[in-house]
């Protein structure tokens, strides 16, 4: 009985998180189309967007590390990077120490546009949590903090400082 309940809860959370991600992505795509961010950013796939955000958050990365972060093969990550380099979004550079190693970074020309993309995505979340209301958001933040702690422990990373409004007041 408990396993059945656990499975149903996991399925519900999985489906709901995909729905939220899809909803935010659609809102964000609509906002990008109506923004001055540029055509190179209007037709990004979700995977390309994720790759850009990972590199933006972590700094320059190897193709292998990017592939691992995205959960895809190195050849797939390399092909994705090639497309983003051709759009001028990323720069690709060979390591001086190891010629087999390629590092990718946000191009200087795209840094401001990527900040605009992040702002547009944040605004989509603000709209969502505003509609959900402060009590729901407070609970969501509490749950997110607990899940984040589990994930960080599983990944062996130092816990991030969470600032959800002091005492988890959310919005």
Question: In terms of domains, do 47 and 111 share one?
Answer: yes
Question: In terms of domains, do 122 and 93 share one?
Answer: yes
Q: Has residue 127 been placed in a domain?
A: yes
- pLDDT, tens digit (0-9, with 9 covering 90-100), for 24-43: 878 877 777 777 776 667 77
Cβ neighbours of residue 94 closer than 8 Å, sequence gap 6 or more: 101, 102, 103
Q: Has residue 3 been placed in a domain?
A: no
- pLDDT, residue 96, reads 79
Question: In terms of domains, do 137 and 125 share one?
Answer: no
- pLDDT, residue 61, reads 92
How buried is 154 (Cβ within 10 angstroms: 0-12 exposed, 13-18 middle, 19+ buried)? exposed
- pLDDT, residue 70, reads 92
pTM: 0.68
Asked if 61 contacts 106 with a C-beta cutoff of 8 angstroms, the reply is no
The DSSP element (H or E) to which 102 belongs, if any, is: strand 102-106
Question: In terms of domains, do 52 and 116 share one?
Answer: yes
42 lies in which domain range? 21-132
pLDDT < 70 positions in the chain: 1, 38-40, 159-171
Question: In terms of domains, do 137 and 157 share one?
Answer: yes
Question: In terms of domains, do 75 and 139 share one?
Answer: no
- Taking the C-alpha atoms of residue 124 and residue 128, their distance in angstroms, rounded to an integer, is 6
- Taking the C-alpha atoms of residue 53 and residue 58, their distance in angstroms, rounded to an integer, is 8
Cβ neighbours of residue 152 closer than 8 Å, sequence gap 6 or more: 158, 159, 160
- Taking the C-alpha atoms of residue 97 and residue 79, their distance in angstroms, rounded to an integer, is 23
- pLDDT, residue 171, reads 40
Question: In terms of domains, do 54 and 138 share one?
Answer: no
Question: In terms of domains, do 73 and 147 share one?
Answer: no
Q: Has residue 1 been placed in a domain?
A: no
- Total number of domains in the chain: 2
Q: Has residue 121 been placed in a domain?
A: yes
- pLDDT, residue 163, reads 64
Question: In terms of domains, do 92 and 162 share one?
Answer: no
- pLDDT, tens digit (0-9, with 9 covering 90-100), for 152-162: 898 788 766 66
- pLDDT, residue 168, reads 43
Question: In terms of domains, do 34 and 116 share one?
Answer: yes
Cα–Cα distances (Å) from 77 to 48, 67, 105, in that order, read 9, 5, 13
Q: Has residue 105 been placed in a domain?
A: yes
């Amino acid at each position: 009985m408990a396993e059945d309940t656990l499975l149903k809860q996991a399925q519900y959370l999985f489906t709901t998180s995909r729905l939220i991600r899809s909803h935010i992505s659609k809102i964000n795509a609509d906002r990008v189309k109506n923004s001055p961010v540029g055509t190179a950013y209007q037709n990004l796939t979700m995977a390309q967007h994720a790759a850009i955000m990972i590199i933006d958050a972590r700094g320059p990365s190897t193709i292998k590390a990017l592939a691992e972060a995205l959960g895809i093969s190195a050849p797939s990550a390399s092909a994705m990077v090639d497309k983003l380099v051709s759009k001028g979004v990323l720069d690709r550079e060979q390591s001086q120490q190891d010629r087999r190693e390629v590092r990718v970074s946000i191009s200087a020309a795209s840094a401001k546009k990527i900040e605009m993309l992040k702002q547009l995505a944040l605004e989509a979340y603000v709209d969502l949590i505003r509609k959900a209301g402060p009590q729901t958001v407070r609970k969501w933040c509490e749950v997110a903090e607990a899940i984040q702690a589990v994930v960080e422990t599983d990944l062996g990373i130092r816990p991030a400082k969470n600032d959800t409004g002091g005492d988890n007041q959310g919005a």
